[in-house]
Structure formats: structure tokens, C-alpha cells
């Protein structure tokens, strides 16, 4: 597996520090408002990276913080006349709801900056002791020029950075030794949340939070550190400086950055006001469509948000979902099942279904020859079809192994869908149809895309539906009876008509 590393500006073979395990840190949002779909891009992208690593057999320790102390949170709290805590707690809860709706799994740990202040004070003290930090009137700065490798992630030259930052010298920051020095700790202002420290009652700078939380929950050296590309400089550059100077070890092996989600080719951001919240999008679309849209592009390519592209994503996802439900349908109406249905319902065509009720997909030929196959073993011709289908799995993995190329991985899923539509009919065995269906669902699941009805039916609901189906059959309402059978099939419930009555099992 090869991943693009911002540090080397190259794709590198992925080798974790400990075989079979991955330690991964993703910078999370600052919580003062509902998240916008630009913020959702790293969430979806790196959740997919995590899922793929797990698919490859790695055990992933995934840490993603919430920045719950910040100027913007304080400003919002003052605006509403409530505490910062109330604001951050409210928007963490809202963010978690959005994540769930986008099928972004909760991190192994979601640390909160305000719960980790002790660790931050400790790390700053170590940096002071080692001469990497200095205190001016209660504000502690990092002595950037002392870290020789500063600029290695953003590939910036220190001298260029200095001349570019000359203006800082005349903007009231002249208490710094150097314009490039950045804040580790700042004293409180009136009405701000604060914590005691050896230097002043105050609060930490933003960069130190991630260095500390990453160290606490993952250790001094980690495998992957990720976030949006706007974090490369200065946030991640500063994190490297703090962590490596404190710990005397390389911080993260692989630095992954997603490109921006744009709107009219400009970065979507709160400050520009050109954003849609995830919540707004959810009023118009199933958020699986948003996820599909995000993954249709490679994570390092800029992605322009538009209604047309969302519509295209909606119909792409629908195409996959249609095939998945058609396969469930033809699996239930294949030769073996159909002959049983014919015996019971006696409607003449052997499918247990009126022709008007048949699915309109032309590939779904509902004919049968009455022989029935109910063996776990596939005939040779079916083994060939299966091998053809499995080839798309290899294609999917190949795309994902190449720096998580979800665009090509989705293309492989579409090819598999097309293949299934043209190769599978109700003439095939339920084993083959079920296996290909599971393959499509499984590949989508690696990307976190839900393509089958997930609503869990309770046993009592299933029993009630079965009773209703029996009554419908008694009343010779075969259309309704079949509708119920298909509804259950779509949820992975198989009905078995036996001499003792109807039995059912979950897939
Ligand atoms: P913030 O709350 O601004 O710190 O952002 C949280 C995460 O969202 C960071 O990883 C940012 O890089 C990322 N992000 C913010 N805006 C965008 C955007 N328009 N496109 C992609 N990622 C973004
Ligand atoms: Zn961070």
C-alpha cells in the first residue's frame, strides 16, 4: 500500500511502526457552530482511510480531538451570554449527530482540549527547560529558529518565512524574539476561561493541544497525522516543532492532507460566508449522497461543490442501491425458490408473482425450469461468473492501495454493478446471487457507504409481516404476499415455506 506523504512530497510504501497496528491522529474541528461540508471532507476522507486500513487487517487506534477553547468559542459565548463550555458542549453534540448521519464512525478517543490542560503545561515546561520556549510577561513563545528542521513539512525556507513575516514586527508582537515564534501559552483576558500555570493564569495556544493529545493517547511517535491542507502551515509545522523538540523523536511518519472543498472555486469557509452546513444539506439529501460525492474525487484533488454534482452523486448511489435490491429480489425468486412459491401460490408462472409485479430491470428474467438448486456448491459456469465478479474486488483494492484512490475504487464498484446486471438472472443459484450482492455491499461498506436497507426489523415485526403474508395468500392476494416477501428479503430476512409452516432466518 502506498500513501502520499506531505513530508517527502512522494508516495511511499506504508510501513507502520508496529506490524499490524496503526496509530492515527486527525485534527478535529473548533466547536462554535454547526460544521460545514468543508469540515466534513476530512471527516469522511479519513474515516474511509481508517475503514480501509481495518479492511487490510490493521488494528487502528484513531484519535480526533475537539478544540473546545478558542477565541471564536469565547466570542460566540459572549454573544449569547452563556459560558464557553455551554457553546462547545452544544456543538460537540451537534457535530457527533452529523458524523453519525454521514456514517463517520466515532474515533477510538475524542479528547477535549480543556480536559488536557495539565499535559499541555507539562509539555510547555519541558520545552522551557530545554531552551525551546521563553516567557514574556506571562505569554510563553516557542523559539522557532532553535528547531533546525522547522519548515520541513510545508517545504518552506526559514529565511523566506522571516522576510515574509517582517510585518509582524511592527504589529505589536515585538515582545517576541523572532517574528516566527508562536504562542504556547497566553494570559487570560477579562471574561475568558483560564487555568493556572507557572507563567500566568491563562490558556494554551492551539498548536500545543494536538501535540499533547496525540502523545497522551497514541504515544510519542505515531504512524499517520492528518487534516485539511490549510493545516500544513503553520499548525502541523508547529506541532512537529513542539513534539520533536520535547520528545527528541520523529513525531509522525506519514502526513496526509485533504484538498479543499470549494464553491465557485474558492475554499468553502466560515469566514468567507460561502458555506453550507451539513445540517442544511441533510434537509435536501440523504447524507450518504454527500459521502458518495466526497469520495467520488481523490482526497488530494480540489472538489467543487455544485447542485449538478450532488445530483450526479445521488443517481450514482441510486444505481448501486437498485442493483443491490434487485439482487435480493432475484435471489428470492430464483429457480429453487420460485418452484416452491409456484406450488404454494399456484399463480401459474412459477415465480409466485404476477407479471405486473415483476421488477422492471430487464436483467431480471423471472423464468424457471423447475429443477431448483439448493447446494452450497456452484456449477462450473457459475464459478466463472463469480471469478469475473471477484476480479473487481482486486481492482478496488488496487485503487485503494494507491493512496486511497476512492474515485477509482468507486469506478470498480460501478463496473461490478454493471457486470452483475448483465450476468445474473433468477436462473442463477441463490448462492451466486447472494455472494455477488454481498460483494457489492461489502465494497461499499469499506467506503462507509450504506447501500442496503439497514432498518433492523424486530422479531415481532417479522412475525407480524409473515402472518399478514399468510392471510394475503389465503385471500389469493399474491401481489401483497410477494410484496411482503420482497420487503423482508430486502432486509436480509429469508422465508422458508415448510410443511410445518413458514420459517424465517436472518442473512
Ligand atoms: P477548523 O474547524 O476550521 O479547524 O477545520 C476543521 C477541519 O476542516 C480541518 O482539518 C480543516 O483543514 C478542514 N477544512 C476546513 N474547511 C475546509 C474546506 N473548505 N475543504 C476541506 N477541508 C476543510
Ligand atoms: Zn491539530
Q: Which residues contact 77 (CB under 8 A, 6 or more apart)?
A: 83, 84, 86, 87
Q: Is the CB of 227 under 6 A from ligand 1?
A: yes
CA 31–ligand 1 middle distance (angstroms): 12
Cβ atoms of residues 267 and 259 within 8 Å: no
25, β-bridge pairs: 63, 225
CA 264–ligand 2 middle distance (angstroms): 27
Of residues 405, 423, 497, 467, the one with CA closest to residue 11: 405
Q: Regarding beta strands 202-204 and 10-13, do their DSSP bridges make them parallel or antiparallel, or are they unpaired?
A: unpaired
Q: Is the CB of 226 under 6 A from ligand 1?
A: no
CA 228–ligand 1 middle distance (angstroms): 5
Q: Is the CB of 128 under 6 A from ligand 1?
A: no
Give me the pLDDT at residue 493, please. 84
Q: Is the CB of 27 under 6 A from ligand 1?
A: yes
Give me the pLDDT at residue 361, please. 37
State the Cα torsion 228-233-236-242 to the nearest 10°: -170
Give me the pLDDT at residue 333, please. 82
Q: What distance in Å separates the CA atoms of residue 386 and residue 414, rounded to the nearest whole number?
A: 16
CA 169–ligand 2 middle distance (angstroms): 26
Q: What distance in Å separates the CA atoms of residue 138 and residue 215, rounded to the nearest whole number?
A: 25
Minimum CA distance residue for ligand 1 atom 8: 39
| Secondary structure element (H or E) that encloses residue 406, with its range | helix 406-423
Q: How far apart are the first and last CA of the chain?
A: 32
Locate the ligand 1 atom nearest the alpha carbon of residue 262 and give its number. Answer: 19
CA 246–ligand 2 middle distance (angstroms): 17
CA 224–ligand 2 middle distance (angstroms): 12
Q: Is the CB of 294 under 6 A from ligand 1?
A: no
Give me the pLDDT at residue 371, please. 31
Give me the pLDDT at residue 351, please. 39
Locate the ligand 1 atom nearest the alpha carbon of residue 35 and give its number. Answer: 2
Query: pTM above the 0.75 mark?
Result: yes
Q: Quote the cell numbers at residue 437.
A: 450482492
| Secondary structure element (H or E) that encloses residue 218, with its range | helix 206-218
Locate the ligand 1 atom nearest the alpha carbon of residue 228 and give its number. Answer: 12
CA 260–ligand 1 middle distance (angstroms): 8
Angle CA 494–413–57, to nearest 5: 80
As to burial, measured by CB atoms within 10 angstroms (0-12 exposed, 13-18 middle, 19+ buried), residue 422 is exposed
Cβ atoms of residues 278 and 40 within 8 Å: yes
Question: How far lies 84's CA from each of 31, 227, 239, in Å?
Answer: 10, 25, 25
Ligand 1 pocket, mutate which of 42, 46, 267, 294 (most atoms under 8 A from CB): 42
Q: Is the CB of 207 under 6 A from ligand 1?
A: no
> How far is residue 285 CA from its own chain's centroid?
17
Locate the ligand 1 atom nearest the alpha carbon of residue 261 and give its number. Answer: 20
CA 106–ligand 1 middle distance (angstroms): 18
R_g of the chain, CA atoms, integer Å: 28
Residue the block writes with cell 508496529:
18
**Interval 378-408: pLDDT, tens:** 899 999 999 999 999 999 999 999 999 999 9
Q: What distance in Å separates the CA atoms of residue 448 and residue 46, rounded to the nearest whole number?
A: 11
502, β-bridge pairs: 497
Ligand nearest to the CA of 260: 1
Q: Is the CB of 257 under 6 A from ligand 1?
A: no
As to burial, measured by CB atoms within 10 angstroms (0-12 exposed, 13-18 middle, 19+ buried), residue 67 is buried
* Ranges in the chain, pLDDT < 50: 168-171, 338, 345-375
Q: Is the CB of 25 under 6 A from ligand 1?
A: no
Give me the pLDDT at residue 167, please. 54
Locate the ligand 1 atom nearest the alpha carbon of residue 227 and give its number. Answer: 10
144 phi, psi to nearest 5 deg: -55, -45
Angle CA 77–78–84, to nearest 5: 30
Amino acid at each position: 500500500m502506498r500513501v502520499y506523504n506531505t513530508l517527502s512530497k512522494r508516495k511511499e510504501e506504508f510501513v507502520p511502526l508496529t506490524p499490524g497496528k496503526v496509530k492515527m491522529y486527525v485534527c478535529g474541528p473548533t466547536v462554535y457552530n454547526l460544521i460545514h461540508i468543508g469540515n466534513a471532507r476530512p471527516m469522511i476522507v479519513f474515516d474511509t482511510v481508517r475503514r480501509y486500513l481495518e479492511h487490510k487487517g490493521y488494528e487502528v487506534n484513531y484519535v480526533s480531538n475537539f478544540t473546545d477553547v478558542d477565541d471564536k468559542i469565547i466570542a460566540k459565548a459572549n454573544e449569547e451570554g452563556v459560558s464557553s463550555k455551554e457553546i462547545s458542549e452544544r456543538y460537540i453534540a451537534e457535530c457527533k449527530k452529523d458524523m453519525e448521519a454521514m456514517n463517520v464512525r466515532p474515533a477510538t478517543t475524542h479528547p477535549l482540549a480543556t480536559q488536557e490542560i495539565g499535559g499541555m503545561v507539562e509539555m510547555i515546561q519541558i520545552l522551557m527547560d530545554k531552551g525551546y520556549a521563553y516567557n514574556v510577561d506571562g505569554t510563553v513563545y516557542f523559539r522557532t529558529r532553535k528547531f533546525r528542521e522547522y519548515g520541513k513539512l510545508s517545504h518552506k525556507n526559514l529565511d523566506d518565512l522571516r522576510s515574509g513575516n517582517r510585518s509582524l514586527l511592527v504589529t505589536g508582537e515585538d515582545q517576541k524574539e523572532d517574528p516566527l515564534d508562536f504562542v504556547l501559552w497566553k494570559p487570560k483576558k477579562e471574561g475568558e476561561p483560564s487555568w493556572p500555570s507557572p507563567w500566568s493564569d491563562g490558556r494554551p495556544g492551539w498548536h500545543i493541544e494536538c501535540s499533547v493529545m496525540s502523545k497522551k493517547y497514541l504515544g510519542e511517535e505515531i504512524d499517520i497525522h492528518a487534516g485539511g491542507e490549510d493545516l500544513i502551515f503553520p499548525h502541523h509545522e508547529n506541532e512537529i516543532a513542539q513534539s520533536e523538540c520535547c520528545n527528541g523523536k520523529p513525531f509522525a511518519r506519514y502526513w496526509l492532507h485533504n484538498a479543499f472543498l470549494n464553491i465557485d472555486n474558492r475554499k468553502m469557509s466560515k469566514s468567507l460566508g460561502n458555506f453550507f452546513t451539513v445540517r442544511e444539506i441533510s434537509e435536501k439529501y440523504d447524507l450518504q449522497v454527500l459521502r458518495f460525492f466526497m469520495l467520488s474525487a481523490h482526497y488530494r484533488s480540489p472538489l467543487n461543490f455544485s447542485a449538478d454534482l450532488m445530483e450526479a452523486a445521488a443517481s450514482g448511489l441510486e444505481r448501486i442501491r437498485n442493483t443491490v435490491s434487485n439482487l435480493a429480489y432475484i435471489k428470492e425468486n430464483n429457480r429453487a425458490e420460485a418452484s416452491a412459491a409456484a406450488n404454494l401460490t399456484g399463480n401459474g408462472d412459477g415465480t409466485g408473482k404476477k407479471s405486473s409485479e415483476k421488477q422492471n430491470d430487464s436483467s431480471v428474467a423471472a423464468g424457471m425450469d423447475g429443477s431448483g438448486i439448493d447446494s452450497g456448491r456452484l456449477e462450473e459456469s457459475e464459478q466463472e461468473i463469480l471469478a469475473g465478479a471477484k476480479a473487481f474486488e482486486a481492482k478496488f483494492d488496487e485503487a485503494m492501495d494507491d493512496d486511497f484512490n476512492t474515485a477509482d475504487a468507486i469506478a470498480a464498484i460501478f463496473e461490478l454493478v454493471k457486470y452483475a446486471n448483465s450476468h445474473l438472472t433468477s436462473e442463477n443459484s441463490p448462492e451466486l446471487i447472494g455472494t455477488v450482492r454481498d460483494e457489492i455491499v461489502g465494497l461499499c461498506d469499506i467506503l462507509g457507504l450504506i447501500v442496503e436497507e439497514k432498518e433492523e426489523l424486530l422479531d415481532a415485526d417479522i412475525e407480524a409481516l409473515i402472518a399478514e403474508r399468510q392471510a394475503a395468500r389465503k385471500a389469493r392476494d399474491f401481489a401483497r404476499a410477494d410484496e411482503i416477501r420482497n420487503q423482508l428479503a430486502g432486509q436480509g430476512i429469508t422465508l422458508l415455506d415448510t410443511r410445518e409452516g413458514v420459517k424465517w432466518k436472518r442473512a
